[in-house]
Amino acid sequence: MLSHTFTVMTFNLLGWNRRLGGAVASIAGADAGVVALQELTQSAAQVLGEELRPRYPYQALRPDTGFSGGGVLSRFPILWEEPLRLSERGHTCQHLALALPGRELHCFNVHLTAPRLRPWPLRYDATRREAETAALAQRLAGHPGPLVVMGDFNMTDRSAAYHRLARLLGDAFREAGAGPGKTFPHAPRIGPLRWPLWPAPYPIIRIDYIFHSREIATREAHLGDGDGSDHCPVIATLAFAHP
């Protein structure tokens, strides 16, 4: 039996996103109770924080230069929040406790380091991402109570890193989404149109996820329109399961 549904969203804004009004509209249109943001710059934090404050009075924003900032917008009170670095030069991640009606929910906003292309021998080097995944899995293993972990993981669902997390948590889109759920690269808008060749005409891989602990079930999951970003947001409606 399930009780109290709530909706969450993860959205990599793109560090050089100049369509912040579009990002505001994308977030408002999703109407999620909790929004996790990656690549949050100072300008994006100012615009989104001010424009969305009536809708999201509880905010934990940690902007940074380039691609390392992060933040969470919430309709639910934030009991506490702590920043995390899963590696020495990793992106800003966050661990928050939120007060939902009758329940406390722990939420992780995650942005893992993307693999690097090494020229000789030609290969993708995912060493740092694997170390960050191990550090995250260690934090999550045995974590008490309901838990949602979402963000830009820079890994496909065929990778060893994905399966390491999927052994601990449920994948919301895999459970209740339609289609392959590919989120990257999302062609940005140029005026009223999308640029069809940047850097691909449509998303080709799934790297953005919403995971949850076993005390939570997924009712529905879908992709949003990430206006101005190279990522599609992921949105999921979740529910607490009665003990």
Structure tokens at 157: 């669902």
- Segment 35-59 shows an average pLDDT of 98
pLDDT at 118 over 70: yes
C-alpha pair distances (Å), 141 with each of 63, 145, 189: 28, 12, 40
The Cα 8–Cα 84 span in angstroms is 20
Provide the whole-model pTM. 0.93
Structure tokens at 153: 């993981």
Q: Which DSSP category does 200 fall into?
A: -
Q: Which pLDDT does position 104 carry in this prediction?
A: 96
Residue entry with tokens 């209740």: 176
- Segment 129-145 shows an average pLDDT of 94
Contact (CB, 8 A) for 153 and 211 = no
CATH class in words for 2-241:
alpha beta
Write out pLDDT tens, residues 153-184. Answer: 999 999 999 999 999 999 999 999 999 999 99
Ramachandran region of residue 188, left (φ > 0), alpha (ψ -120 to 50) or beta? Answer: beta
Residue boundaries of the structural domains of the chain: 2-241
Q: Which pLDDT does position 187 carry in this prediction?
A: 74
Contact (CB, 8 A) for 172 and 218 = yes
Q: Which pLDDT does position 4 carry in this prediction?
A: 85
Phi, psi of 117 (to 5 degrees): -85, 120
Residue entry with tokens 């992106």: 91
- Segment 113-123 shows an average pLDDT of 76
Mean pLDDT, rounded, of the chain: 91
Which band of pLDDT confidence, cut at 50, 70 and 90, is reported for residue 213?
very high
Measured on CA atoms in the order 53, 58, 62, 66, is the torsion positive or negative?
A: negative
Edge-to-edge strand order for the sheet containing 2-12? 58-62, 70-74, 34-38, 2-12, 234-241, 216-223
* % of the chain residues with pLDDT over 90: 79
Q: Which pLDDT does position 197 carry in this prediction?
A: 47
Write out pLDDT tens, residues 92-104. Answer: 999 999 999 989 9
pLDDT at 1 over 70: no
> Within a 10 A sphere around the Cβ of 53, how many other Cβ atoms?
12
